[in-house]
Structure 1
């Protein structure tokens, strides 16, 4: 299969690419690196990426930033960061990419553990992750041409544990290999409308 991974140079993207790349042709896209460049928050940029890409069998998105901070001092502008970036960025990839995915292909989005196992200062991430899961479940029942859509919801990756030190007390990091397998389950399997949890 020919698979686009948006965010393929990030920690989660590398985990997905390592597993899927065993069997498939991987094209990476990112804001500043990869085979193609794209700003997922810009409709024009997403359209331009797809125009260069052509047809693919699957699209995986592992991108998006959220705001970490106390709810008591969070501003609406800070909260919108996650909505505009991680949520709408990935939704843009789906809505604008439908015609570029072959029949019976798939989209796999990325959410995260915080909507089911919250931590302090993670309310924005929890809300965004929950919205991604809801979008996947709702979109799955009306995707055209047999296209499937799922999300992978990883816990704290081993390679990210140092970066988020102190934010995830008591969370056991998950291996990159396990996260990669979740993307393979979505892309190579038959599931649709599912949130595949890892950790």
Structure 2
């Protein structure tokens, strides 16, 4: 299969590429690195990425940003930042790709564990993650041409534990291998409308 991986340079993107590259043709994309540069906040940039890549069988998005902060310090604008930069960006990636993917192709988005296992200062992330799960469940029943859509929701990766572990007290970090397999399950399998946890 020909697969675009957006956010391929990050820890999750690298896990996806490591799992899929031996069996598939991977096109990496990102804001500042990759085979194709793309700004997910710009619909025109997303459309340009698809034109450059041509017809593809699957799209993975492993990119997104949210605001962290104590609830009393959060604002509507901070929640909106996450909704724009983690949720709407991935939704626009799907909308722009509906006529690009081959029949039966798939989108695999990325959320995260914090809507299931919350941590202090993580309500912004939890809000965005929950929104993505709802979008995927509803979008799956309205997809044209047999297209599929799922969202992988990984916990803290082992490779990121030294940097972010203090934010996730008591969490058992997950291996990059397990995370990569979750994306392979979504792409190479038959599921749609699913939130696939990696805890």
Residue in 2 that maps onto 1:56: 56
Determine the C-alpha separation between the residues in 2 that align with 1:163 and 1:135: 30
**SS of the counterpart of 2:57?**
strand
Match of 2:6 in 1: 6
> For 2:114, what is the secondary structure of its paired residue?
helix
User: Per-residue deviation at 1:165?
Assistant: 2.9
- Asked whether 1:197 is paired with 2:186, we answer no
Structural RMSD (CA): 0.7
Equivalent position of 2:109 in the other structure? 109
SS, match of residue 99 in structure 1: coil
Q: CA deviation at 1:78?
A: 1.6
Task: Return structure 1 stretches of 4+ with deviation > 2 angstroms.
Answer: none
- 1:75 deviates by 1.9
Secondary structure of 1:152's counterpart equals strand
Residue correspondence of structure 1 range 1-199 to structure 2 within 5 A: 1-199=1-199
Hey, what's the Cα distance between the residues in 2 that align with 1:93 and 1:6? 10
Instruction: Give the TM-score normalised by structure 2.
Output: 0.98
Gaps of 5+ in 1: none
- Number of residues paired by the alignment? 199
The Cα shift of 1:166 comes to 1.3
What is the CA distance between 1:22 and its match in structure 2? 1.7
TM-score, normalised relative to structure 1: 0.98
Distance in 2, matches of 1:160 and 1:92, equals: 27
Q: Determine helix, strand or coil for the equivalent of 2:164.
A: coil
Residue 81 of structure 1: CA displacement? 1.3
